[in-house]
Amino acid sequence: MLKSIPAVAVFCLVSAPCPAAAAAAAAPVKAVGVETQYADVIAQIGGRYVTVSAIISDPNTDPHEFELNPKIAARLAGAQLVVENGLGYDDWAGRMLDAAPDAQRRVINVQRLLGLPDNTPNPHLWYDPLTMPRVADALAAILATMQPQHADDFRANAARFDASLGPWRAALAAIKSADPGVPVAVTEPVGDALLTAAGAEILTPFTLQAAIMNGTDPAPQDVAAQDLLLSGHKVRALVYNEQVTDPLTASFLALARANHIPVVGVYETMPAPGYDYQSWMLAETMALRAAVEHGQSTPPLGKAPG
């Protein structure tokens, strides 16, 4: 599959009139980002030379539990470029792509791009500030092979994207220097990479985070430990996944509020409208900062305060 693309390019170079390639170059690349955040980065790198759609975009849906329908299968099958997360987060997308083989289609599996083993416990890769710049570079490189005439645009876009993450990195560094090792509790591992990048210490047992993420019965020891973190004021913020709620997470939320521990909402997929990847990550980091420095809870993103 990888070999066939340079072969076509070489063929076009030697035989001057190449109508098929010319037509393909004129039409925008049909791209799919399985999650909205990846679709957003594709759009930022590809600009007007791609048409992008996302599959998981409803912020009320837990992406882990997403179910496929034939319409989505057709959209994936028709895509020329796909970005998927991997690590079991969106396995169905890979299965769907396997069912509709296309030698020309290029797929970026972010897990494999980062060289992560299958047993990596936390699939929320985009919360790591190192992830998306690498996705952007990979996108620029692949788009350059698909539309060589715009290769410079793609590379410039990737560089601009990387630079635009500056405020986010600065915000993370500010928390790290102002509050090194600030203790926090979480309901789910969704924002753990961001918290680690901000130098925060996550005191919630990972087994509890995994149980809530996977919808299994939590160990009572872990629930008690989390309750103690909140009631004993051992943490300075509760980082709460707004997209996965159940009676247990609701009880942690109530306990945090009762003990005046600020709550920071985090999301599995980019809350729309009004956010791009950079501003979304920055908003969550600023919310974390407001929580640990000023004890402020944040209203859900995209909703009016109060």
Is 205 among the residues that bind another protein (CB under 8 A)? yes
The CA distance from 116 to 126, in Å, is 13
CB 125 within 8 A of CB 87: yes
The contact pattern for another protein, residues 206-225, with x = CB under 8 A and - = no contact, is -x--xxxx-xxxxxxxxxx-
Choice between 78 and 215, CB closer to another protein? 215
Beta-carbon contacts of residue 192 (< 8 Å; ≥ 6 apart)? 122, 124, 127, 186, 202, 209
Ranges within 128-187 binding another protein (CB under 8 A) = none
Is 120 among the residues that bind another protein (CB under 8 A)? no
Is 64 among the residues that bind another protein (CB under 8 A)? yes
The CA distance from 300 to 266, in Å, is 8
CB of 242 to another protein, least distance (A): 8
Kindly state the tokens that stand for 61.
């849906």
H helices of the chain, in order, are 4-14, 19-26, 36-46, 70-77, 91-99, 110-113, 131-146, 151-164, 166-178, 192-197, 206-214, 220-231, 247-258, 277-294
Is 69 among the residues that bind another protein (CB under 8 A)? no
- Three-class SS of residue 294? helix
**Stretch binding another protein (CB under 8 A), from 18-26, 83-91, 145-153, 239-247:** 239-247
Is 62 among the residues that bind another protein (CB under 8 A)? yes
Going from the C-alpha of 94 to that of each of 52, 87, 119, the distances in angstroms are 18, 11, 17
Choice between 52 and 190, CB closer to another protein? 190
CB 239 within 8 A of CB 191: yes
Going from the C-alpha of 30 to that of each of 26, 56, 247, the distances in angstroms are 12, 17, 41
Choice between 77 and 206, CB closer to another protein? 206
Is 118 among the residues that bind another protein (CB under 8 A)? no
Is 258 among the residues that bind another protein (CB under 8 A)? no
Choice between 53 and 61, CB closer to another protein? 61
- Total residues contacting another protein by CB under 8 A comes to 33
Choice between 35 and 153, CB closer to another protein? 35
Interface residue list for another protein (CB under 8 A): 58, 60-62, 64-65, 67, 205, 207, 210-213, 215-224, 227, 243-248, 250-251, 254
